[in-house]
A and B are shown apart, each in its own frame.
Chain A
Amino acid sequence: MTEFLKQTIGRRAVLGAGLAGVSMLAMPSILRAQDKSLKVGVYGGYFKDSFDKNIFPEFTKATGIAIEAIAEPTGEAWLVQLEQAAKAGQAPADVSMMSQVAMLKGQATELWAPLDVAKIKNASNLIDRFVNKYPDGRVAGIGAVSWYITLVTNTDVYKEAPTSWAAFWDPANADKLGLLALVSNSFLLEVTAKTYFGGTNALDTEEGLEKAFAKLAEVKPNVRLWYRDEAQFEQALKSGEIPMGQYYHDVTGLAAADGNPVRSTFPKEGGIQDSGCWALSRASQKVEEAHIFIDYMSQASIQATLSRKVGTAPTVKRELTDLTAEEFAAVSSDIEPIIPRYDLYQTKSDWLNQKWTELIVG
């Protein structure tokens, strides 16, 4: 037995443990950070990797609060998990990045702890629409990141950039478009309303929605691909197989920078601006840390870093950031954006989904 022990704990292991201990002491920030920590949910994959690399270590250095990043699934699965856990008094993540529809659904069950804006002094930097509020005015979430879906074209096929979403309706573009396949991620109803009916308010009534659906039906003969998988469209756009469509502004810009014959255009009606909020679960015990985190993330300089490193559009006012015109254009535009009608996807989701599926499949 003693022989056995002697063998396993060798010189090497003792040295190694000693070294690890010394380096722990040499980095007091880690020790200090251990008592202050925060679990942050971010979309898994690209987002989480970028945040882990570019944002969270700096935050820990600045505030001494350690971040445990949790990869959250996209879609509503994460909302459901947070909801179930909160009922049991648990918070799988304290602060989570949530889609706008998920914010509204969480509001319905009071899932989000109201935020104290007095403790988030950088919140005043934000563009107003990025402050997510309960109907009674309490703040439910603070804009984390935003991104644009724009009109994209293959430059070999379209020498001139189109200027309006109306290009989707042009009979000359028969069988040339690639559009997102779901009502809740393509936001084409909003595009139709803004382009032809004066704004997304036209979708307030059922007749307005019916009119938008009828107008959208005219696009169908032009659509070659309704995509769920982004790679499928991106490839076809680059090769010119499907030379026009809707796609993410920043990704298209990166593809163009790599030498692919593609361009992203903000139509005169505006690009579609989607966004995510930071929201605090009501079951979280880390209210103080969460406010510090959200405040930190709302700084103009951090938003600028996100634009440069992650490719998201700033949620703070442009003039506060030090983004150059070129850097800003790579992620955003001054043209007034089309803001999706998230409320509809909460209150009428099944009806919209059924109408939409019948429209494109039927």
Chain B
Amino acid sequence: MRREAPHRLADYGPLFFPAMMLIVFFVVPFATMIAVSFFQRQQGGFYVPAFELANYQRFLSLFFANVLGFSLMLAIAVAVCCVVLAVPFTYLLTRMARKVQVVWLVALLSVLSLSEVIIGFAWSTLFSRTAGITNLLVMAGLMSEAKALLPSFGAVLTGMVYQAFPYTVLVLYPALVRLDPTLTEAARTLGASPVKAFFTVVVPALRNTITATLIMVFIFALGSYLLPQILGRPQHWTLSVLITDQAIYQSNMPFAAAMAVFLVLVTLGLVALTVIAGRKGEAA
């Protein structure tokens, strides 16, 4: 099939529907949010249209900087853990028999069907003192008494990695399946061990895919607000938790909107930096 650039207006026709969807479900709500973020909060009431920067001013404090910093750090940690686990896993998966692959993929897809609430409560039971996995370790004689593993940063990280892992595998899978097996074969004939071949040939060949996956998981993890509440202490609450508090419990929409806009801007900035850094690396 030959690709032709569109000539007439009608050629753009197929784009009309997705464009409309994008406008109705993304551009309009996002624009509304930006507008509301400048509105004036009526304490003890709701808000009135205005143009003021007070909501952004309130956000620019050490306290919120710390919360924002933690949220970004947590999302980066989740992305790195997921990719570090998923790249070797997916690589090995693509080398398996077709039937085994199908079973694994179905299992991963079924994890995707679980809601965040179910994942959160399941892990909170697994990490609890009364019914958790430490009881198994006690039975096996590895621990003297059962203890609670939550609330803790480790619990939050585990829950979020568990939730994001299937996405990571599914994003990596097509690229790894298409990876030319002759590349590794060549490396092996030239005397590289399987591990060395993986790190010196497979990983560099997938650099762009890995970067894209990191960004996707990062953004996915940044929006998480339930797991940090269920599995963490208040210092592990992400900015999304505080946004929810303001929007739902304080009915302070302007401030919630300002925080959300800020979060989106910082995220876009980080993604842009990653992409630019990636291009520079390619050019070098």
Contacts and interface: CB of A to CB of B under 8 A. Distances in A.
Interface of A: 75-77, 80, 83, 104-105, 108-109, 181-182, 184-185, 224-226, 228-229, 232, 236, 239-241, 346-347, 349-350, 353-354, 357-358, 360-362
B63 A349 contact: no
**Highest count of chain B CB atoms <10 Å: which of A77, A226, A354, A357:** A357
A77 B235 contact: no
A80 B251 CA distance: 10
Interface stretch (B39-47, B89-97, B186-194, B260-268): B39-47
Nearest to A362: B63
**Highest count of chain A CB atoms <10 Å: which of B148, B242, B249:** B249
A224 B235 CA distance: 12
Contact of B130 (A75, A80, A232, A239): A239
A184 B251 contact: no
B77 to A, nearest CB: 19
Given A353-B250, A357-B245, A361-B237, A347 B130 contact: no
19 contacts: A75-B251, A80-B46, A105-B44, A108-B44, A184-B250, A226-B234, A229-B229, A232-B124, A232-B230, A241-B128, A241-B129, A347-B43, A350-B41, A350-B250, A350-B252, A353-B252, A357-B63, A360-B234, A362-B63
Interface residues of B, number: 29
A75 B249 contact: yes
A311 B235 CA distance: 36
A241 B124 CA distance: 11
Contacts of A108: 44-45
A350 B63 CA distance: 15
Given A108-B44, A360-B234, A240 B252 contact: no
A181 B131 CA distance: 25
A360 to B, nearest CB: 5
A239 B234 contact: no
A225 B232 CA distance: 9
A182 B67 CA distance: 17
Contacts of A229: 229-230
A105 B45 contact: yes
**Highest count of chain B CB atoms <10 Å: which of A182, A353, A361, A362:** A361
Contacts of B44: 104-105, 108, 346-347, 349
A77 B46 CA distance: 9
B19 to A, nearest CB: 33
A65 B248 CA distance: 35
B88 interface: no
Contacts of B128: 236, 239, 241
Contacts of B248: 75
A105 B250 CA distance: 13
